A = this chain, B = another copy of it.
Amino acid sequence: MEQQAIGVFDSGLGGLTALRELTGLLPNERFIYFGDTARVPYGTRSRETIINYARQDVNFLRSFDLKAILIACGTVSTTAMETLKGEFSTPLFGVVDPAVAAAVAASKSGRIGLIGTPATVGSGAFERAILAKKSTAQVTSQACPLFVPLVENGRFEPEDNVVELVVAEYLAPLKAAQVDALVLGCTHYPLLAEAIAAYMGEGVTLIDTGAAAAQALATFLRESDMLSDESHKGGQKFYVSDSPDGFERLASVFLRTNVCGEVTQVTVG
Residues of A within 8 A of B (CB): 37-39, 44-49, 145-146, 149-150, 152-153, 155, 161-162, 165-166, 169, 241-243, 245-246, 269
The verdict on A45 contacting B242 (CB below 8 Å), with A162-B166, A169-B162, A269-B269 known, is yes
Which 6 interchain pairs have the tightest Cβ spacing? A46-B243, A149-B149, A145-B153, A49-B242, A38-B49, A46-B242
Question: Shortest beta-carbon distance, A135 to chain B, in Å?
Answer: 32
Oligomer: number of copies: 2
Tell me whether A245 and B150 are in contact (CB under 8 A).
no
- Smallest CB separation, A199 vs chain B (Å): 15
CB distance from A226 to the nearest CB of B (A): 36
Known: A46-B246, A161-B169. 19 other contacts (CB 8 A): A37-B45, A38-B45, A38-B49, A39-B39, A44-B152, A44-B153, A45-B242, A45-B243, A46-B243, A47-B243, A49-B241, A49-B242, A145-B149, A146-B153, A146-B162, A161-B165, A162-B162, A162-B169, A269-B269
Q: CB-CB < 8 A to A45: which residues of B?
A: 37-38, 242-243
Which residues of the other chain, B, contact A37 by a CB distance below 8 angstroms?
45
Residue of B at shortest CB range from A46?
B243
Task: Specify the chain B residue showing the minimal Cβ separation from A168.
Answer: B161
Contact A146 B150 (CB under 8 A): yes
Q: Please tell me if the beta carbons of A46 and B245 are within 8 angstroms of each other in the complex.
A: yes
CB of B162 within 8 A of CB of A48, answer no
- Closest chain-B Cβ to A30's Cβ sits at a distance in Å of 27
Give the chain B neighbours of A149 by CB distance below 8 A.
145-146, 149
Task: From the candidates B49, B153, B161, B169, name the one contacting A243 in the complex (CB within 8 A).
Answer: B49
Q: Which single member of B165, B241, B242, B245 contacts A162 (CB below 8 Å)? A: B165
**Once the chains are docked, how many angstroms separate the CA of A175 from the CA of B169?**
28
Q: Which residues of B contact A39 (CB under 8 A)?
A: 38-39
Would you give the shortest CB distance from A144 to chain B, in whole angstroms? Answer: 10
Question: Chain B residues with Cβ under 8 A from A246's Cβ?
Answer: 46
Measured CA separation A97–B47 after assembly (Å): 39
Bound together, the chains give a CA A44 to CA B153 distance in angstroms of: 9
Distance in Å: Cβ of A27 to nearest Cβ of chain B:
33
Q: Please give the distance in Å from A102's CB to the nearest CB on chain B.
A: 29
A114 to chain B minimum Cβ distance, whole angstroms, is 19
Q: How far is the CB of A54 from chain B (nearest CB, A)?
A: 13
Give Cα A44–Cα B40 distance, bound, in whole angstroms: 10
Q: What's the minimum C-beta distance from A245 to chain B, rounded to whole angstroms?
A: 6
